[in-house]
A and B are shown apart, each in its own frame.
Chain A
Amino acid sequence: MNLKTSILDYINDVKSGSLTVEEFTSATIQRIKDVDGDVHAYLSLNESAIDNAKSIDKKISTGEKVGACYGFPISIKDNICITGTKTTCASKILENFVAPYTATVVNKLQNEDAIITGKTNLDEFAMGLTTEFSAYGPTKNPWNLKYVPGGSSGGSAASVAADECLASLGSDTGGSVRNPASFCSVVGLKPTYGLISRYGLISYANSIEQIGPMTKTVKDCGFLLNIIAGQDSNDDTTIDNKQSDYLKNIEDGIEGKKIGIIKEMTSDGLSPEVSSATKEAIQDFEKLGANCEEVSLPTIPYTVAAYYTITSTEAGSNLARYDNIRYGYDLDSEGYEYNSYISKSRTKFGPEVIRRIILGGFVPSAGHAGKYFLKALKVKSKLTSEVNSAFEKYDFLIAPTAPVQPFQFGEKIDDPITLMLLDYNTVTANLTGKPAISVPYRVVDGLPIGMQIMGNSLKEESLLQAAYALESKTELPEVPL
């Protein structure tokens, strides 16, 4: 059984009868059993996966209408709610939280007969870049188990890279889909803000985060986007995508397109390997018929500070509800006074979450909002104008997704500034709401490097064309796991 297939190839195989859903699902489950002890991509598994597979096979054999997904296996980041399943956000504070409803994106997948394999690991409450901040232990990079898979959607990226499923849904607040996609050599897209419903996504920074598909190929990404994108009445921040078809014209190419190479993201701060891979990518884009030239976005050096200021403010507020009174874990309130009870129960938060919450209490506070929070909001406005101007001249803006290749566990976790700066190339897309995709490009010394392409708002169709074009010029080794 070849698990290294793509969603589209898998569907063809099932349609042609050369494969049953049950066969593939069983093989996937076996693969999870074989490797996840090492990778630790999953926090929980769907025990009904085989039953789901059987009923889809039945539909196929009786000629009943089958959903577009034909039972392909997909994993879901554990900050996305599915009815009846534990949804922990990789935190101890939600250890026993069973979601009473299902996120819109999962509903859409289930309605099209996708099979959910399980919930994947993340940095606690999606705050982090390496998945080292999970309260349930880190996920390992399938390319080298001593190395981090990136974060916060590390489990999602690793599950796809290790062939433990054919795709995953992660969430991207400052790079949390693209960064692990780059580190694990998979495709990861952060869509335009409002393209995909956040209903059922447990909020970290609701003004800029989006759920994002993570797949093996760019075409698979387009396929998945067709299923999950679109306005949702349950989420008032979603926008009308005019029923776009993201797959239809994906092979159109980028002849004559203008590409801006973001100066501030491609200068110092890049490791030599990432720097030379970037130069090669630029040459590839030119071979594909695009015109590339450098563009400067002078607000970029301020974006990491603005990003952390804004997200910690929102996180401090979004996580205030976790006081263990309405749901949470067993801690009898007898004998406690209100304030001490809440403080006691919130000691279950991990260290990074605690720090972000404190930051989030500080930067918007009455005495400090002018210096930090309000300035950060204005950086966001200024950046957006700058990027909008750039898109008047260019079709795409490019840079490497991460300034470095994956690194070893424990290497960066102690210096908060170094850690924050890993997001340097990715936060711009979140702060401006623009779509951006990471395309697996090189594997150097066994460690992946991804290239990031950013497009203008709601231009995912052409963004995927550019990504597909680059992918067609790229040859990658197979994951050694």
Chain B
Amino acid sequence: MVDEEEIIRVAKLMKIDLEDHTEHVSRVKKMLEYFDILDQIDLSSEEITSQEKTLAELRKDEFIPNDKKLIDSLKNFREHYVRAPKMN
């Protein structure tokens, strides 16, 4: 059984403001309960794998100057700083 309070706490960590609690929380809870099906399959011999590349295939270390106008197309403040809200 998934704890609804924990769902609400996780939402906060993900910076999601749950104004309308009930609908989202209960739906998320339902989805999580469906995921319980994962407990029924034997996965003991499985390993995590990934695509692999060689060192030679990686990007060469070069400086390529970028378009100075990029900061102008983003939100910026005087002298081209980005302004963040006050930190506590």
Q: Does A60 contact B (CB under 8 A)?
A: no
Nearest CB of B to A3, in Å:
37
Per-position 1/0 for B65-88, Cβ under 8 A of A: 000001001110000001111111
Among A308, A333, A346, A416, point to the contact of B85 (Cβ < 8 A): A333
- Do A98 and B32 touch (CB < 8 A)? no
Q: Does A18 contact B (CB under 8 A)?
A: no
Nearest CB of A to B69, in Å:
9
Residue of A333, A355, A365 with most chain B CB atoms under a 10 A cut-off: A355
Q: What total of chain B residues lie within 8 Å of the partner, measured CB to CB?
A: 45
Q: Does A272 contact B (CB under 8 A)?
A: no
Q: Does B55 contact A (CB under 8 A)?
A: no
- CB neighbours of A360 from chain B (8 A): 14
Among A100, A299, A328, A362, point to the contact of B10 (Cβ < 8 A): A362
Given that A302-B37, A333-B83, A354-B24 are known contacts, is A359 also in contact with B49, CB under 8 Å in the complex? no
Selected interface stretch from A64-72, A138-146, A378-386, A402-410: A378-386
Q: Does B13 contact A (CB under 8 A)?
A: yes
Nearest CB of B to A93, in Å:
12
Per-position 1/0 for B17-57, Cβ under 8 A of A: 10100011001101110110111110100111101010000
Given that A302-B38, A378-B46 are known contacts, is A355 also in contact with B27, CB under 8 Å in the complex? yes
Q: Does A12 contact B (CB under 8 A)?
A: no
How many residue-residue contacts, CB under 8 A, span A and B?
Answer: 141
- Do B82 and A326 touch (CB < 8 A)? yes
Nearest CB of B to A355, in Å:
5
- Do B15 and A323 touch (CB < 8 A)? yes
Nearest CB of A to B18, in Å:
8
- Do B75 and A325 touch (CB < 8 A)? yes
Q: Does B64 contact A (CB under 8 A)?
A: no
Q: Does A358 contact B (CB under 8 A)?
A: yes
- Do B87 and A338 touch (CB < 8 A)? yes
Query: Which residue of A is nearest B70, CB measured?
Result: A100
Q: Does A344 contact B (CB under 8 A)?
A: yes
Among B37, B48, B75, point to the contact of A327 (Cβ < 8 A): B75
Residue of A306, A308, A359 with most chain B CB atoms under a 10 A cut-off: A359
Which A residues from 455 to 471 make CB contacts under 8 A with B? none
Give the distance in Å from the alpha carbon of A137 to the alpha carbon of B43 in the complex.
42
Q: Does A363 contact B (CB under 8 A)?
A: yes
What 9 A-B pairs have minimum CB-CB distances, sorted nearest first?
A378-B46, A378-B43, A333-B85, A361-B14, A341-B85, A343-B17, A361-B10, A375-B38, A381-B46
14 contacts between A and B (CB under 8 A): A100-B73, A194-B51, A302-B40, A305-B34, A308-B35, A316-B14, A328-B75, A333-B83, A337-B86, A337-B88, A361-B14, A362-B7, A379-B46, A416-B27
Known pairs A376-B38, A420-B31 / 18 extra A-B pairs, C-beta < 8 Å: A237-B51, A304-B34, A308-B31, A325-B82, A326-B74, A333-B85, A339-B88, A342-B85, A346-B17, A351-B23, A362-B6, A362-B7, A362-B10, A365-B10, A378-B47, A381-B48, A382-B46, A417-B31
